[in-house]
């Protein structure tokens, strides 16, 4: 890893009695477990979206529904690509001593993949709500879904991270 990346991502002790190699192995294992949770959701949503155009009522959708459908399909495909990328990276760099880079890159890809998954799931909620209930309900439930993902997948962990960073900064001051 080049020194600029190393400077931006200082090693933090885990509080465990483990070597760097053991820590990287544990981090990779934890990341893979998290991806195993996210990927089935992406796959089910993608399968649903692939089947929708072949339904008889699909020809009757509005321009808004068509755009929402396509944006949701694209967000789902992007999410799948980002969440599966660590596997391809690992396979192509296997035996090249790239575990540190794999863990760092995979973490970023997973975060981006979850972001696109949140957008895709919000799009799916909007699409189905618009078909069933119309514009007002679509606006309310679409915003509620987006707010839920932002709060649970973004703000909650970032708040915890900032609290810990501030606490760590006070200790070292």
- Calpha distance 83→114 (Å, rounded): 8
Q: Which residue has the higher pLDDT, 64 or 19?
A: 64
The reported pLDDT for the residue numbered 11 is: 54
Residue 116: the pLDDT is 97
Please say whether the dihedral angle defined by the alpha carbons of residues 151, 120, 31 and 112, taken in this order, is positive or negative.
negative
pLDDT at residue 169, rounded to an integer = 83
**Residue 4 maps to a domain:** no
Mean pLDDT rounded to a whole number for the chain:
88
Say what the pTM is.
Answer: 0.83
Give the range among 14-23, 29-38, 42-51, 121-130 with minimum mean pLDDT: 14-23
CA distance to 79, 123, 150, 151, per residue, from 146 (Å) = 16, 9, 6, 9
In a domain, 136, yes or no: yes
Classify residue 3: in a domain, yes or no. Answer: no
**Does residue 1 belong to any structural domain of this protein?**
no
CA 170, chain centre distance (Å): 31
Picking from 106, 98, 90, 96, the residue whose alpha carbon sits closest to that of residue 21 is 98
Is there a domain that residue 93 lies in?
yes
What is the extent of the structural domain holding 102?
Answer: 20-53+61-172
Average pLDDT over residues 31-59: 91
Q: How many domains does the chain have?
A: 1
In a domain, 65, yes or no: yes
pLDDT at 62: 96
Distance, CA of 121 to CA of 113 (rounded, Å): 12
User: 85-130: per-residue pLDDT in tens?
Assistant: 998 888 888 888 888 898 999 999 999 999 999 999 999 999 999 9
């Amino acid at each position: 890893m080049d020194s600029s990346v190393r400077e931006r991502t200082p090693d933090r002790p885990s509080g465990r009695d483990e070597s760097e190699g053991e820590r990287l192995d544990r981090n990779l294992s934890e990341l893979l477990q998290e991806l195993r949770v996210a990927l089935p959701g992406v796959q089910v949503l993608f399968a649903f979206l692939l089947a929708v155009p072949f339904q008889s009522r699909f020809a009757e959708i509005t321009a808004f529904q068509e755009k929402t459908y396509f944006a949701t399909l694209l967000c789902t495909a992007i999410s799948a690509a980002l969440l599966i990328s660590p596997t391809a990276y690992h396979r192509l760099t296997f035996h090249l001593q790239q575990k540190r880079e794999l863990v760092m890159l995979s973490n970023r890809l997973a975060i981006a993949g979850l972001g696109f998954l949140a957008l895709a799931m919000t799009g799916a909620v909007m699409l189905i709500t618009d078909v069933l209930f119309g514009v007002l309900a679509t606006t309310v439930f679409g915003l509620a879904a987006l707010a839920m993902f932002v709060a649970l997948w973004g703000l909650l962990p970032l708040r915890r991270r900032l609290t810990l960073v501030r606490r760590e900064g006070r200790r070292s001051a």
